[in-house]
Amino acid sequence: MNSHVKTELAPIPFVDIAAQRARLGTRIDDAVARVLNHCRFINGPEVTEFEQQLARFAGAKHAVACSSGTDALAMILMAWGIKAGDAVFCPAFTFCATAEVVPWVGATPVFVDILEDTFNMDPASLEAAIEVAKREGLTPKVVVPVDLFGQPADMDAIEAIANAYGLKVLCDTAQGFGATWNGRRTGSFGAATATSFFPAKPLGCYGDGGAVLTDDDALVPVLKSVREHGQGVDKYENVRLGMTGRLDTIQAAVLLEKLAIFEDEIAARQRVAERYSAALADICAVPAVDPRATSVWAQYTIRLPHGVRDGLAAALQKEGVPTAVYYRLPMHHQPAYAQFPIAGNGLPVCEKLAGEVISLPMHPYLDEAAQDRVIAAVRRALGA
């Protein structure tokens, strides 16, 4: 291998926020400057404007902006009054926040297996988990489908099971905002949806941010109360427990500019994914998208036989191609979550995929030359 030639090339960014900023020119600077001039840093006019545009984009009736994706999840559970003795069903192959908020309100996360092809919640395992929860004396209350790596979970199957068992559906679309299922955007499914604007998510701000989307008119004032320390009609009356859950006006101003180019960025991500898949399908398991779904490609994640990926990561690193592993340890094996119930004797698909997955650089500004470098490096490393 001629490492000389390759190390001369600058490393490819895994996610390229600088390229997006260059494209937006001075629009973000101007938007932030407007906030600096009006000084309404909390609940300024940009927040309301962003909430309206976000809801319209998702096809939801309401959006309530907030401080992070994690807080969006927590605010929904708090607004619904989920409490000790309640079971909340979460996939075990996800970012920890999906389940982390459940013990915050005293409830119990029950971990569910995933489907091998889409990495998303397995409906059959969800039914098994509901039986486990009942046997343990818990009350099944909420299911949290996660749109992992940008692809919506199987909403047809999950909503059918939720209806049959009387569960509320809380969609975690932190990675899938902007994706579609049966032609409808995420944010328009379930009783409420949580999303995140962490900078590396498909729609990100310049710090922490999130939102709740819902069609439920009655839920909105409760969410807004939770967001402001449980305030009542008067600001200094506290009618419930809440938090400091607001989105900063500056972040809303940033998000308004980014939302304007988001559809175009989703299309660019789709082009990258298609090109990767065409060039790599013969040497590894490339991502499978359900025919009812589109993905926003928060991650482009391939699968390799157990024991192969760390060697691939090291070889790519030498060529300036970064990779990441989401997730090396499923939730039910994390020390902080190991005591919670799971849907059977282990979660075999989560355990298998945790040893096989590796994500390649993915963002809307990855040009064909950079894609070709990634593709060539992967093929070389796998001896293809």
CB under 6 A: which stretch of 45-53, 167-175, 285-293, 347-355 binds ligand PLP? 167-175
- Which one of 39-47, 93-101, 119-127, 218-226 is the stretch in contact with ligand PLP (CB under 6 A)? 93-101
Between 207 and 346, name the residue whose CB sits nearer to ligand PLP: 207
By CB under 6 A, is residue 69 in contact with ligand PLP? yes
Q: Which is nearer to ligand PLP, 148 or 284 (CB)?
A: 148
Using the contact rule CB under 6 A, the part of the chain among 49-57, 106-114, 171-179, 341-349 near ligand PLP is 171-179
Please name the amino acid found at residue 291: P
Task: State which residue, 213 or 312, has the beta carbon closest to ligand PLP.
Answer: 213
Stretch that binds ligand PLP, among 95-103, 134-142, 235-243, 307-315 (CB under 6 A): 95-103
Smaller CB separation from ligand PLP, 175 or 251? 175
Among 32, 60, 79, 97, binds ligand PLP (CB under 6 A): 97
| Binding residue for ligand PLP, selected from 175, 186, 225, 359, defined by CB under 6 A | 175
Work out which of 74, 90, 146, 357 binds ligand PLP, going by CB under 6 A: 146
User: Is 201 a catalytic site residue?
Assistant: yes
Q: Which of 54, 79, 98, 246 is the binder for ligand PLP (CB under 6 A)?
A: 98
Total number of residues that touch ligand PLP (CB under 6 A): 15
Q: Does 174 help bind ligand PLP (rule: CB under 6 A)?
A: yes
Q: Which of 57, 63, 68, 333 forms a contact with ligand PLP (CB under 6 A)?
A: 68
Q: Any contact of residue 248 with ligand PLP (CB under 6 A)? A: no
**Rounded CA separation 81/107 (Å):** 10
Tell me how far, at minimum, the Cβ of 339 lies from ligand PLP, in Å: 21
CB 30 within 8 A of CB 36: no
340 lies in the binding site for ligand PLP (CB under 6 A): no
Can you tell me the distance from the alpha carbon of 288 to that of 270, in angstroms, rounded to the nearest whole number?
Answer: 13
One residue of 94, 294, 301, 323 binding ligand PLP per CB under 6 A: 94
**Closest to 110 measured CA to CA, from 339, 345, 360, 377:** 339
78: number of Cβ within 10 Å: 25
Instruction: Based on the shown chain and the rule CB under 6 A, indicate whether residue 210 belongs to the binding site for ligand PLP.
Output: yes
Helix (H), strand (E), coil (C) string for the chain? CCHHHHHCCCCCCCCCHHHHHHHHCCHHHHHHHHHHHHCCCECCHHHHHHHHHHHHHHCCCEEEEECCHHHHHHHHHHHHCCCCCEEEEEECCCCCHHHHHHHHCCCEEEEECECCCCCCECHHHHHHHHHHHHHCCCEEEEECCECHHHCCCCHHHHHHHHHHHCCEEEEECCCCCCCEECCEECCCCCCEEEEECCCCCCCCCCCCCEEEEECCCCHHHHHHHHHECCECCCCCCECCCCCECCCEHHHHHHHHHHHCCHHHHHHHHHHHHHHHHHHHCCCCECCCCCCCEECCCCCEEEECCCCCHHHHHHHHHHCCCCCECCCCCCHHHCCCCCCCCECCCCCHHHHHHHCCEEEECCCCCCCHHHHHHHHHHHHHHCCC
Interacting span for ligand PLP (CB under 6 A) from 90-98, 135-143, 219-227, 268-276: 90-98
Task: Based on the shown chain and the rule CB under 6 A, indicate whether residue 196 belongs to the binding site for ligand PLP.
Answer: yes
Contact flag: residue 172 with ligand PLP (CB under 6 A): yes
Tell me how far CA of residue 176 lies from CA of 101, 148, 180, 244, 375, in angstroms: 19, 7, 9, 25, 24
Active-site residue, from 6, 61, 83, 201: 201
Residue nearest to ligand PLP (CB): 69
Least distance between ligand PLP and beta carbon 14 (Å) = 15
Smallest distance from the beta carbon of 231 to ligand PLP, in angstroms?
Answer: 23
Q: Which residues are catalytic?
A: 201
Residues binding ligand PLP (CB under 6 A): 68-70, 94-95, 97-98, 146, 172, 174-175, 196, 198, 208, 210
